[in-house]
Structure 1
Amino acid sequence: MRNRNAVSLLAVSAVLTASLTGPATAAAATAPSLGDFVLVPSNANLHSVVGLLDEQLPKLGVQNILLQANRTDAPKGADCTSPALNTNDRHVVGKFCFNEGDTNTTQWMPQGVTTVADAQDDELWGDEQAILVSWYNKDTSPAKGVRVSFLDTDTGNYQHVLLVYPFVNNSGNASYEAVTTPQSGDGGSVHAGGIVWYGNFLYLVDTRRGIRVFDMRYIFDVKSAANGDVTDPDRVGRQDGTFYSYGYRYVMPQTYGWSNPSGLASFPPDHGCNASGPQKFSYISLDRSTEPDLITTGEYCSDLGDPDRNGRVATWPLNFVDGTPLTDGNGLWRARSADRLPKPRVQGAVSFANRWYLHSTGGGTTGPGHLQAAVRGGIGVLATDGAEHDVAIGVEDLSYWSSRNQLWTVTEHDGKRIVYATPRP
């Protein structure tokens, strides 16, 4: 007969060993290095090219864009519904629909969202309030890049503006092309996973590169130009003395950029992420609860079973006086903080008052997305805080409208597209 005390001691030893070394112990995430979150200025020459375009093309301000928005046939009020909301367990406190063509197209996919609450402290642009949504073009040749919808919250009407990249062509004339990656050659459309409207500037994430910057003061009206043609959906830029825009009336050229120091970053296939190195710029938002105001950027990462590869979020300081990045003495834009995400497949993140709000996916085109709050659980590591809520199918980027205490987003799948808000958890 075995000694019962010996058996008990062996059992206790086994339990202790398993608790210390066994598979039941989940690996802990480690804090990312702030040294991985540095952007260098790029595309400094673009502003001069935009100046040349300004001499040749009439331009229009944001207020007038909203007043003459041409998408007037989107469902309004109670008629604005979407099957994307069927899984939502959070109260919807605001919503806007696209028209039938934009809801069902498979050539353009909505991704990013920002509001006038990001743009201005008083949450007004003149006397207008707007929501902006970014779309990337897919499955066309050539790739048409990125467009942004300017939506008037008073009327529900909206207008698309094509984002473009300016350059001087072989004839020495200012022209522009689609926003693609890589920019030269036959690149695909920039994914446009997130946007922030801050002052006069529109910040757009470029997944492998960094952040592109556009200036709201330079939205050109191709239709009103003496040499503009908005009837051809297949041509863009200046060709044989005529300006084209893939059929869009308005174009807004890039004026500046902030890029990874080593150029385009590389990431694992199938939406995988690296544990260290340059950040993947999947989405972007604004935090007005701090001083200075901060841009938040983050990574969309598939589940690789490693807490250090769930993705990272970083915050970047802004100059509220002129809307530009706050840089160091060497002109570099350095992140103020960086944190590991507590879960994979995060499609959007916004921070406010030291709390993060995360949109994640996993249900494909039929299952719900998820909304969950997070706080710092340690230095450089976020931990979930509170319940995970089922929200709309295909949720994307996030933007916080502080005076309304609302989180705004857009859903991406064709046939299931809507811009909507839910209360902040």
Structure 2
Amino acid sequence: MQHRGRHRRRRRGRALRATLAGTALALTAAATLISTSQAVGGDDPGGLTRVTAQAETAPFRLHEELTAPGTLDTLSRAMGGDVGVHGVLASADRTMRDRSGCDAAETDALPVKPAATRAYCWDRRDATTTRWLPRTVTTSGDAHDDGRWGPDRVVLSGWAHDDRRAGGPAADRGLARIAFIDANDPARLAYRWVLLVAPRADGKDYTAVHARLSGMVWYQDKLIAAARGSLLVFDLHRILRANVDSRAIGRVKGGFAAHGYRYVLPAVGSYRLTGGPCSTADDRAAPCFSALSLDRTSVPASLVASESSRARGSDRAAHVWRYAYSTGPGRGGLLAADARGEVRAAEVFETEGAGVLGVLSHRRDGAGRADWYVDRAPTSDGRRGTLWRQTTFTAKAARCGPDESHACWGRHTASLSYWRETGELWTLTEGVPGGDGGPGDGRAGGRVLYAVPLGAVDDAVE
């Protein structure tokens, strides 16, 4: 990992020498191009660079740890049996507003180009809370080819408690929850919250999962969620119902409580980076996960990940990479691990792009090289992000506005998920308290869940 910064500097040095060897006309043209790009927020990251040296790919290795099935069975029996996704959807108690019901700050958070074809806004209590942040999205289109989980079309949205906000109850700090959204009727999406928990070793109790979610993928019956330097694994067959309405979490007098939530989803395992704690500041440290997505066009299907570099101008490069899913019996939805439980990255690429908040890999027509779609955060003085399509040769982004700006994507977006059945790319915006599309009174604003046809993205960048 210590070579990552030096590798980037060597490439910069070679590019600089090549430029200096050109003609004065070429230098003038290059200077003009750079000036224009910076003026309109272009910041072209260029093509991806494949990383193959073992010393540079080693920090991306994972170690698998799975909870004993008996532990989970014990907890399930104690709580009255598994509920299932359909049971959660049937009890949905909050309704999303369609585009016509969204306010001005919410619709303004949608992309300029390409235009969203579906847009939904949260129940008012969730749309304006400053204590929770929407961080990631995945769908039943990831889970199965036909886009359904049993009879249902489902969207899952992971939210993390915003511990930076003052005044919230101490018991809320570090919590993570998922909105299970009933998407069977596109005109009326409804959802229910489920709290993430971890079973204790004896299976007779559970505790809260403390994780600032930064990515989530639902593949087959497993949900893998990123939390900085680790991946947490959940089984969608093992949703359990709490029977005591209390702010406590775990076993209480009379049964089980879940901080006021009706349902809990217990972790069934984890993948931890073998290189130790992750860091966004130390080139020698393991990478921190900034986003996850599923690539069904790879063989086998793969979990795609990204890290965000430090602030723009840093000498540290960001990376995008993938892990293959297992095809072994009894390992549905788990990553391909060896006999020691080690998972190696199938591919690693370096990107010059900073502030990566979402990533997707997809092979058009299911063949040839993969296109990597990278959602980058706005510049320090900007509001909209940029969605780039990168290969090992080039990088392209949609342009919009009279100045041909690349800042065309949604405001403060996070996460990318491709629903193959419908051909749509799903994402969401976090929303910010006041000043940037927010209502300016301390509440959050501009939170929207939306979808764009992937074909429209490709058309926009051509």
Q: Residue 436 of structure 2 aligns with which residue?
A: none
Q: Residue 373 of structure 2 aligns with which residue?
A: 357
Cα–Cα, structure 1 residues 79 and 16, in superposed 2: closer, same or farther, change >3 Å? closer
**Which one of the candidate residues 317, 326, 336 is aligned to 2:336?**
326
CA offsets per residue over residues 239-273 of structure 1, 9 Å max, x none?
345311010000001011111124432332xxxxx
Confirm or deny: 8 A CA contact 2:61 2:343 kept in the other structure. yes
Q: Residue 97 of structure 1 aligns with which residue?
A: 121
User: Structure 1 counterpart of 2:78, which letter?
Assistant: Q
Q: Residue 322 of structure 2 aligns with which residue?
A: 315
Q: Distance in 2 between matches of 1:290 and 1:314?
A: 13
**Which one of the candidate residues 370, 394, 403 is aligned to 2:421?**
403
User: Structure 2 counterpart of 1:344, which letter?
Assistant: A
CA offsets per residue over residues 73-120 of structure 1, 9 Å max, x none?
x32352245524426212111122210000001111110100111000
Q: Distance in 2 between matches of 1:389 and 1:128?
A: 35
Between the two proteins, what is the percent identity of the paired residues?
A: 27
SS of equivalent to 1:280: coil
Shift of 1:415: 1.4
CA offsets per residue over residues 255-313 of structure 1, 9 Å max, x none?
11111124432332xxxxx4454221121000001110010011122335256x23111
Q: Distance in 2 between matches of 1:317 and 1:16?
A: 38
Q: Residue 435 of structure 2 aligns with which residue?
A: none
Q: Residue 349 of structure 2 aligns with which residue?
A: 339
Q: Distance in 1 between matches of 2:312 and 2:412?
A: 21
Confirm or deny: 8 A CA contact 2:47 2:351 kept in the other structure. no
Q: Residue 396 of structure 2 aligns with which residue?
A: 385
Q: Residue 62 of structure 2 aligns with which residue?
A: 39
Shift of 1:331: 2.8
Confirm or deny: 8 A CA contact 1:46 1:166 kept in the other structure. no
- Give me the TM-score of the superposition, normalised by structure 1: 0.81
CA offsets per residue over residues 104-154 of structure 1, 9 Å max, x none?
011111101001110001111112101100000123413251100011112
Q: Distance in 2 between matches of 1:17 and 1:40?
A: 42
Confirm or deny: 8 A CA contact 1:82 1:417 kept in the other structure. no
CA offsets per residue over residues 38-97 of structure 1, 9 Å max, x none?
10112x34543322211111321112211221113x323522455244262121111222
Q: Does 2:302 align with 1:294?
A: yes
SS of equivalent to 2:97: coil
CA offsets per residue over residues 336-376 of structure 1, 9 Å max, x none?
10011231011000110100111111257971122121111
User: Structure 2 counterpart of 1:293, which letter?
Assistant: A
- Give me the TM-score of the superposition, normalised by structure 2: 0.75
Q: Does 2:152 align with 1:128?
A: yes
Q: Does 2:450 align with 1:417?
A: no
Q: Does 2:228 align with 1:207?
A: yes
Q: Does 2:150 align with 1:150?
A: no
Larger strand fraction of residues: 1
Q: Residue 69 of structure 1 aligns with which residue?
A: 92
Q: Does 2:73 align with 1:51?
A: yes
Confirm or deny: 8 A CA contact 1:355 1:373 kept in the other structure. yes
Deviates more, 1:31-40 or 1:114-123: 31-40
Deviates more, 1:324-333 or 1:407-416: 324-333
Cα–Cα, structure 1 residues 355 and 82, in superposed 2: closer, same or farther, change >3 Å? farther
Q: Does 2:244 align with 1:229?
A: yes
Shift of 1:35: 2.0
Larger helix fraction of residues: 2
Q: Distance in 1 between matches of 2:136 and 2:378?
A: 19
SS of equivalent to 1:55: helix
Q: Distance in 1 between matches of 2:216 and 2:121?
A: 19
Confirm or deny: 8 A CA contact 1:304 1:310 kept in the other structure. no
CA offsets per residue over residues 20-39 of structure 1, 9 Å max, x none?
69998999986542222210
Q: Distance in 1 between matches of 2:339 and 2:103?
A: 51
SS of equivalent to 2:212: coil
Deviates more, 1:398-407 or 1:102-111: 398-407
Q: Residue 236 of structure 2 aligns with which residue?
A: 216
Q: Distance in 1 between matches of 2:223 and 2:161?
A: 19
SS of equivalent to 2:86: helix
Cα–Cα, structure 1 residues 46 and 265, in superposed 2: closer, same or farther, change >3 Å? farther
SS of equivalent to 2:58: helix
The runs of 5 or more residues in structure 2 that have no matched partner are: 1-15, 35-44, 364-369, 399-405, 432-443, 458-462
| Number of aligned residues | 378
Give the aligned CA root-mean-square deviation in angstroms.
2.9
